Structure 1
Amino acid sequence: MRFGIICPPVPGHLYGMMTIGRELRRRGHDVYLLGITDVASHASNGYVDFAAIGIAEFPAGALDSYLNTIRNVNLLTIRKGIDWARTMCVALCRDGAAAVESLDLDALLVDQCQTEGKTIADLTGVPYLSICNALNLEGDESGEAPPPFLPWTPGEGIAARRIRNRLGHRVFASMMAPIVSQTNEFRKARGLSNLRNWEECISPLGTINNLTQGIDFLRGTNKRPMFYTGPYLDERPNETPFPWEQLDGRPIVYASLGTLHTAKWHILESIASACATLPVQLVVSLGQWTNECKTIQLPGDPLTVPYAPQLALLARAAAAVTHAGANTVMEALSHGCPLVAIPLASDQPAIAARVAWAGVGLVVPPGKVTNTRLRTAISTAIKQSRIRLKVDALRQEILDAGGVVAAANAIETVFTAIAPATNDSPQSVNQVNL
């Protein structure tokens, strides 16, 4: 088969999608990343082909400029993010549909964060599956599961919580309204019916989810099939240089604040100060903007690097201090590494809430970060047997879920099942026999 991949042009989403792409390539499929010029290198690193979209709107260098603008979240950057998404919507619907036809693609794999998949599918007749690289964004009419991006607890049968959660889902839907409006302008111009809401853009064929049920809140309603596969990891060689000889044998605490919201010096200094008085060796992955903005002078002489071979370090670490990005959380748990979560933005507070709920780590909100709190949290994460038991159980669940192999199996199964009827009704869930 010939697959096209559509996802946001940010590392946290591209890493997972390229891992799926590599696995499909290993199985003999052709795979193309449909993206802006600045993400071509991700396709090359992922061993998949590349088709450029939005060349006029997003020339080379546009991505770094945009990411540098939004790395600190406020009302201005949220507005810029919406403007970027609306421009991306038009470019991707237009050029994505053209690429699907010119490349003669058979199916699309669309990140849940990209609402354009349905419109491209409607224009081309090519079916698509949704891929979840963070939290499932689909609403829950029962109110059992809280909305994404908020550190709320599940309903658990409590009426007040369920009402709150349902209202939260409505607020999230209203936030997506500008993208739906922009999409409908494009659809109207091409004779397509209007979308009622953004959730219509999630594939009715189902969603591949990079979490497992043990760390995701239960839902009261599921309108579409959900394939829990765990994180999309493979055995690709990691060429990131690292001074392994400087590891001195003490238990490792690995700290990373991700790839976007990295320049949080007061947090990094508190992490370093906390670890300086513990019998551990701190390894800090600084990220792009932190590494560029000032000279590195952290307390306690931690081992600091611009970028780290994260999977290899998590396999050795006694604990990980993280911004609670989905990739880092699931990668740590897949290696049996307990967590200290400091959620910074986006869906990270919601992911941190799941870390606490699952009992696999502790959460320290960024506004409450102190040396003492972090020292206590890191020490507890390393030493507490209850956390260790929960982490070990979740690690086994992740291994059992199958990861990228299970994701590729589900993708092949779904699209093979609908292949005979693609010309008539490519998106009919009833045609899928799983």
Structure 2
Amino acid sequence: MASVLLCSTPVHAHVTPLLAVTRSLVARGHDVRFLTGARFADAVTAAGAQHLPLPAEADFDDRDLAGRFPGRAGRTGLDAIRYDMLQIFVGPGLAQHRAVLAALADRPADAVLVEPLFLGATALAATPADRRPPLVAIGIFPLGLTSAHTAPFGLGLLPASGPLGVARNRVLQRVVERSLAPAQDAAADLVRVAGEQPLDGFFLGWPAHADAIAQLTVQEFEYPRPDVSTPVHYVGPPAATGTAASGDPGLPAWWSDLDGSRPVVHVTQGTVANDDPGQLLLPTIRALADEDVLVVAATGGRPVEDLGPLPENARAAGYLPYDALLPRTSVYVTNGGYGGVHHALRHGVPIVVAGKTEDKAEVAARVAWSGAGVRLRTNEPRPAQVRRAVRRVLDDTAYAAASARIGERIAAAPGTDGVVDVVEGLLASSAEDRRRRARPVSGPPTGRLVRG
């Protein structure tokens, strides 16, 4: 049995996949502690781990970011990204790192697992390997490792190789690094205050300095990076939980309408970015009101009444059982959550994706790159845009075929059990290295010492 410390920023979309990792570790007999926000204590305990609360200066409620970070108001585009990186992610980094050190001092861990935006891990990654436990980065959103073959993370650009592509990528990388220079400097200062030398490269690329990366996708949904030397293990997404989100998994009264007589188009804005149904839910319902399809909307727990009167061919519920719904679904319309997209891919459902904020632009780009769907390049598409995209996906079977191919790879992948395999492999390798170093050297010397 190994002692494992998991660490996550106190954000629902970051904590949830690590809870799945926690359950797999516990099922394999490992002792798990989970360092994250106070509001997730019950969920961590239910997963079988010990909850360690983040210190107050690193904890916040992601349901009220405006209250904790009033400076976010009114910011858009690159200005909003700069603010979030500096204040929400880099800012708490030193307190995060100190909390990790306190947890390790209280009880040593055999391995530390973190998600990429727990930026206190930059100081741990900068610590020589013989002074820290093995460090594994858990890829809970698209891989962001810097590569000459890909554009910088966040731009949503498709990869480009060859001389012109490499030149484009390098220029864009310099532009992004200059634009985020305050966050880069703050991340370097964090590492220095922790007593280590800052890492080479862009601060968001710190997982390149981890001992391994366990990416929660399959290789067919991620860009090739032949120039990256860090071991990246594509383990596949967590197993489907059976529902669109935590909530009532029961079938709604209208479920019998999904009788196969017309294509089902499922639309959701997830469980976080759903305050305004006018971004995607309502445009999709209105776009398809006159189409021979059945539109099924999930509000992510928001009142269904917020959608107003529904056309004849639309149905809605707060939560829906995905294991039952997606096999009946012909098109999945989404704002680009990594988990939801993988649920659709697991069932071979082609995708129309509209998001372009946070990591959603990168998710949307991979949907397009993989051939599994169409991206709309906006957070708030017009009904006409949605209608054209849905018709395109319904009429061209290549999208469903591409999604099905990825779904087959997901079905064959180990999921979060694969993360446990990575951890156990690292620990076995470390133990063998220690045994090899401890083994006495016998026999005559194999060479001569030449003095100059």
Taking structure 2 as the reference length, what is the TM-score of the superposition? Answer: 0.82
- When residues 27 and 367 of structure 1 are mapped into structure 2, their CA distance, relative to the original with a 3 A threshold, is closer
Within 5 A, what are the aligned runs for 1:259-338? 259-262=271-274, 263-287=276-300, 291=302, 295-297=306-308, 299-300=310-311, 302-338=314-350
Partner of 2:150: 145
Q: How far apart in 2 are the matches of 1:14 and 1:115?
A: 15
Aligned to 1:246: 254
Q: Give 1:2-401 correspondences, 5 Å limit.
A: 2-56=3-57, 58=59, 62-66=61-65, 74=76, 77-78=80-81, 80-81=83-84, 82-120=86-124, 122=127, 125-140=132-147, 142=148, 144-157=149-162, 159-174=163-178, 177-197=181-201, 198=203, 199-233=205-239, 240-241=247-248, 242-247=250-255, 248-250=257-259, 251-262=263-274, 263-287=276-300, 291=302, 295-297=306-308, 299-300=310-311, 302-366=314-378, 369-401=381-413
Instruction: Flag the 1:230–1:174 CA change in 2: closer, same or farther, 3 A.
Output: farther
In structure 2, relative to structure 1, the CA distance for the partners of 1:83 and 1:22 (3 Å cut) is same
The aligned amino acid for 1:188 is R
Question: Which deviations, in whole Å up to 9, do the C-alpha atoms of 1:219-278 show, x marking residues without a partner?
Answer: 241120111112122567886214433121244322112333322514322100123223
Is the Cα–Cα contact under 8 Å of residues 142 and 363 in structure 2 kept in the other structure? Answer: yes
Query: Quick one: distance in 2 between partners of 1:5 and 1:150?
Result: 29
Q: What CA distance in whole angstroms lies between the structure 2 residues aligned with 1:407 and 1:190?
A: 28
Call closer, same or farther: CA 1:363–1:16 in 2, change over 3 Å.
Answer: same
Question: Distance in 2 between the 1:80 and 1:153 partners?
Answer: 25
Q: How far apart are 1:186 and its partner, in Å?
A: 4.1
User: Over aligned residues, Cα RMSD in angstroms?
Assistant: 3.0
Q: Which moved more, 1:160-169 or 1:320-329?
A: 160-169
Tell me if the contact between 2:90 and 2:186 (Cα under 8 Å) persists in the aligned partners. yes
Unaligned segments of structure 2, at least 5 residues: 438-452
2:213 counterpart letter in structure 1 = T
Fraction of identical pairs, as percent: 21
Which residue identity does 1:33 align to in structure 2? F
Which structure has the larger Rg over C-alpha atoms? 2
Higher alpha-carbon deviation: 405-414 or 164-173: 164-173
> What residue is the counterpart of 2:442 in the other structure?
none
Compare 65-74 and 103-112 and name the one that shifted more.
Answer: 65-74
SS at 1:283's partner residue?
strand
Q: Measure, in 1, the Cα distance between the counterparts of 2:73 and 2:246.
A: 26
What is the alpha-carbon distance in structure 1 between the residues aligned to residue 433 and residue 122 of structure 2? 18
Unmatched segments (≥5 aa) in structure 1? 426-434
* Alpha-carbon distance change, 256 to 385 in structure 1, aligned in 2, over 3 angstroms: same
Name the SS of the counterpart of 1:395 in structure 2.
helix
Q: Give aligned pairs, total.
A: 418
Give, in angstroms, the shift of residue 27 of structure 1: 0.5
What's the offset of the Cα at 1:35? 0.9
Partners of 1:7 and 1:394 lie apart in 2 by 28
User: 1:311: Cα distance to partner?
Assistant: 4.6
- 1:300 partner amino acid: P
